Structure 1
Amino acid sequence: MPRLILLNKPYDVLSQFTDRAEGRATLASLVPIPGVYVCGRLDRDSEGLLLLTDNGPLQHHISHPRSKVPKTYRAQVEGVADKAALDRLRQGVTLRDGPARAVTVEAIDEPAGLWPRDPPIRWRANIPTSWIELTIDEGRNRMVRRMTAAVGLPTLRLIRWSIGDWTLENLPPGSWREETASLPARRRPAAKPPRPPRR
């Protein structure tokens, strides 16, 4: 049975076990389990759910764009997330590496029980902030931040809440738990149509 680790990655921690630049916080200080590897990445300045496994096929399934595993984020953005901005995220925006759209997106209240970020976000008294919950099924570099910026809502704080059916529920920042996981069923190749008989 594959091992699957759910980690609530804190802000300012790299999604890797070593740091070539040195001096930056890595997963090595949080997950003392040898032989596990990250399933996809989470930016250093983002927080939330990171999955790790010791199983190559499971890692590939969770990480690969073809799998379309949904990832849900809770983002504190600068400005008011009005209907027009949310509609644009649903319909899709054009980024420098192609179109991108939210599978679902909605305005939400600040999440209950949210831990403080260290350091806190920049605060400007004359500019309001709001929260949105957004689901994507891709994993391009800084995709959520670029999408919200494209509709005039720069992201100030980004927390990945879930990947597929796995969530941050009851998982404080910096802590992890192990859950059971099964390998995805192998897809059978499509049957080739029979060749016409030779005449």
Structure 2
Amino acid sequence: MTTPLIAFNKPYGVICQFSGDEQRPTLKHYIEAEGYYPAGRLDTDSEGLLLLTNDGRLQAKITEPKYKLPKTYWVQVEGAITESAILQLAKGVKLKEFTTEPANVFAIPTPENLWQRHPPIRERKFIPTSWLSITIKEGKNRQVRRMCAAVGFPCLRLVRVQIGQLNLFKQGLALGQWNYIETNML
């Protein structure tokens, strides 16, 4: 039996599906393992750790909020982040159809171990940017981006760096690289 879990460092612009988009790259352009499918998603304009599995029960444990598997993102936002915005993000943010659960949020220095994004983010001469680490357990559609926008700091770049105990950098995965991992690593 094959290992039921793949860790993939998804580049910006890659669609989280194997089938069909002729205009943009999909998972099939990177991963050569039959019978695997994403356990959760990353938006096309998000980067970083994506897990794939060939086991439906394991997929549910990774994606279902009831299992509370934390996911950590490094987020570059437009503007100089305020303590007030960090506190709002941490306690939960009212979005259109729901209020987010509390999150673990703190400002971080610009990450030195991140790859260059292609294309690069837009730079505005007189508007600074800030970096945050945000850990959530929900993972609703575009949740982190929507949370940041709701507190007045639009997301410019979003990189998922950790799922459960599995850390992208400890895996040593270069951008676009994947490998099989053991399920106990989560």
Partner SS for 2:94? strand
| Residue 176 (structure 1) aligned with residue 178 (structure 2) | yes
| Residue 8 (structure 1) aligned with residue 9 (structure 2) | yes
Task: Give the letter for the 2:89 counterpart.
Answer: L
Task: Give the letter for the 1:126 counterpart.
Answer: F
Aligned residues: 182
Cα distance, 1:172 vs structure 2: 1.1
Task: Give the letter for the 1:113 counterpart.
Answer: N
**After the TM superposition, which residues 15-164 of structure 1 pair with which residues of structure 2 at under 5 Å, given as runs?**
15-19=16-20, 21-164=21-164
8 Å CA contact 1:89–1:101 kept in 2: the answer is no
Partner SS for 1:153? coil
Partner SS for 2:81? coil
Task: Give the letter for the 1:13 counterpart.
Answer: V
| Deviation sequence 1:136-171 (CA, Å, 0-9, x none) | 000110000000001111000000001111111121
For 2:167, the equivalent position in structure 1 comes to: 167
Following TM superposition, the consecutive aligned residue runs of length 4 or more in structure 1 with deviations greater than 2 angstroms are: none
**In 1: Cα distance, 2:165 partner to 2:176 partner:** 20
8 Å CA contact 1:76–1:155 kept in 2: the answer is yes
Partner SS for 2:42? coil
Partner SS for 1:74? strand
8 Å CA contact 2:91–2:103 kept in 1: the answer is no
Partner SS for 2:99? strand
Deviates more, 1:153-162 or 1:87-96: 87-96
For 1:189, the equivalent position in structure 2 comes to: none
Whichever structure has more helix as a proportion of its residues is 2
Cα distance, 1:37 vs structure 2: 1.1
Deviates more, 1:77-86 or 1:100-109: 100-109
Cα distance, 1:110 vs structure 2: 0.9
TM-score by length of 2: 0.94
Partner SS for 2:179? strand
TM-score by length of 1: 0.88
CA RMSD of aligned residues (A): 1.4
8 Å CA contact 1:42–1:50 kept in 2: the answer is yes
For 1:191, the equivalent position in structure 2 comes to: none
Q: Which runs of 5+ in 2 are unaligned?
A: none
Cα distance, 1:90 vs structure 2: 1.1
Cα distance, 1:94 vs structure 2: 0.5
Cα distance, 1:102 vs structure 2: 4.2
Give the structure with higher Rg (CA).
1
Q: Which runs of 5+ in 1 are unaligned?
A: 185-199
